[in-house]
Amino acid sequence: EKKMTNDHLKKLLVYCMLCCTQKIIVQGAQTFQTKVALLRHVEPNNPKCFAEGIRDLTCFWEEDEERAGSAKQYSFIYTYQNENSSECNVTALPAAGGRILYFCRLSQTQLFVPLDIQVFRDGLLIHNRRLHIELFFLLDPPVNLTVKRTEKQGQLKASWMPPPLKYLDDSMMYEVSYVIAGTQMGQVEEVRASSEVILLGLQPGAKYSVRIRVKLDGVSYNGYWSAWTDPVLMATLPGDLDPLIVSLTLIISLILTLLSLTVLLSHRRFLLNKIWPVIPNPESKFQGLFTVYGGDFEEWLGYSAGGLCLRPAYFYSEELPAPLEVLSEVSLDLPSSPLPPKAKQAPGEDEKLKRIDSLMERWRETPHEHWLMDQLRVLHQLPGPQCSQLESQDAYVTLNAQNHSGEEPLDDILEETLPLQALFASGRTCSESHSDLGSLQQSSGSGRLSTQSSFEYPNHTWPPKGPGYTYMAVADSGVSMDYSPMSSSRIDYMGKGVIYTNEYRNEIPAHRQPIPFAF
Choose between 199 and 481: whose C-beta lies nearer to other proteins: 199
Closest distance of CB 189 from other proteins, Å: 5
The correct pick among 39, 54, 71, 334 for binding other proteins (CB under 8 A) is 54
Q: Is the dihedral of CA 34, 37, 42, 47 positive or negative?
A: positive
Q: How far apart are CA 56 and CA 49, in angstroms?
A: 10
Residue 394: how many other CB atoms lie within 10 Å: 29
Backbone angles phi, psi at 234, to 5 degrees: -155, 140
Residue 188 interacts with other proteins (CB under 8 A)? no
Choose between 232 and 360: whose C-beta lies nearer to other proteins: 232
Closest distance of CB 200 from other proteins, Å: 5
Residue 507 interacts with other proteins (CB under 8 A)? no
Helices (H), 165-291: 243-266, 268-275
Chain CA centroid to CA 344, Å: 52
Helix (H, G, I), strand (E, B), or coil: what is residue 309? Answer: coil
Is-contact 102 64, C-beta < 8 A? no
The one-character DSSP state at 397 is -
Q: How far apart are CA 498 and CA 329, in angstroms?
A: 8
CA dist 172 → 25, 225, 298, 473 (Å):
27, 11, 107, 114
> Considering only 105-113, 232-240, 316-324, 326-334, which stretch makes contact with other proteins by CB under 8 A?
105-113
The correct pick among 4, 67, 82, 280 for binding other proteins (CB under 8 A) is 82
Choose between 170 and 416: whose C-beta lies nearer to other proteins: 170
Is-contact 509 346, C-beta < 8 A? no
Residue 342 interacts with other proteins (CB under 8 A)? no
Residue 190 interacts with other proteins (CB under 8 A)? yes
Backbone angles phi, psi at 191, to 5 degrees: -130, 135
Q: How far apart are CA 215 and CA 19, in angstroms?
A: 32
Residue 90 interacts with other proteins (CB under 8 A)? no
Closest distance of CB 82 from other proteins, Å: 6
Choose between 65 and 170: whose C-beta lies nearer to other proteins: 170
Site string for other proteins, 192-211 (x = CB under 8 A): xx---xxxxx----------
- Residue (of 398, 421, 406, 415) closest to 330 by Cα position: 398
Site string for other proteins, 121-160 (x = CB under 8 A): -----------x-x--------------------------
The correct pick among 32, 38, 40, 80 for binding other proteins (CB under 8 A) is 80
Question: 218: left (phi > 0), else alpha (psi -120 to 50), else beta?
Answer: left
Q: How far apart are CA 65 and CA 51, in angstroms?
A: 27
Q: How far apart are CA 226 and CA 214, in angstroms?
A: 5
Closest distance of CB 147 from other proteins, Å: 14
Choose between 167 and 519: whose C-beta lies nearer to other proteins: 167
- Residue (of 217, 235, 234, 237) closest to 225 by Cα position: 217
The correct pick among 124, 185, 219, 241 for binding other proteins (CB under 8 A) is 219
Residue 108 interacts with other proteins (CB under 8 A)? yes
Residue 243 interacts with other proteins (CB under 8 A)? no
Residue 77 interacts with other proteins (CB under 8 A)? no
> Considering only 74-82, 140-148, 306-314, 381-389, which stretch makes contact with other proteins by CB under 8 A?
74-82
The correct pick among 170, 319, 350, 411 for binding other proteins (CB under 8 A) is 170
Report the run of H or E that residue 60 belongs to, with start and end: strand 57-64
The correct pick among 16, 113, 254, 272 for binding other proteins (CB under 8 A) is 113
Is-contact 177 212, C-beta < 8 A? yes
Residue 85 interacts with other proteins (CB under 8 A)? no
Is the omega angle on the peptide bond into residue 47 within 30 degrees of 0, that is, cis? yes
User: How many chain residues are in contact with other proteins, going by CB under 8 A?
Assistant: 30
> Considering only 11-19, 24-32, 118-126, 217-225, which stretch makes contact with other proteins by CB under 8 A?
217-225
The correct pick among 10, 11, 23, 55 for binding other proteins (CB under 8 A) is 55
Residues 375-434 that bind other proteins (CB under 8 A): none
Q: How far apart are CA 168 and CA 173, in angstroms?
A: 10
Which chain residues interact with other proteins by CB under 8 A? Answer: 54-55, 80-82, 108-114, 132, 134, 167, 170, 176, 189-193, 197-201, 219-221
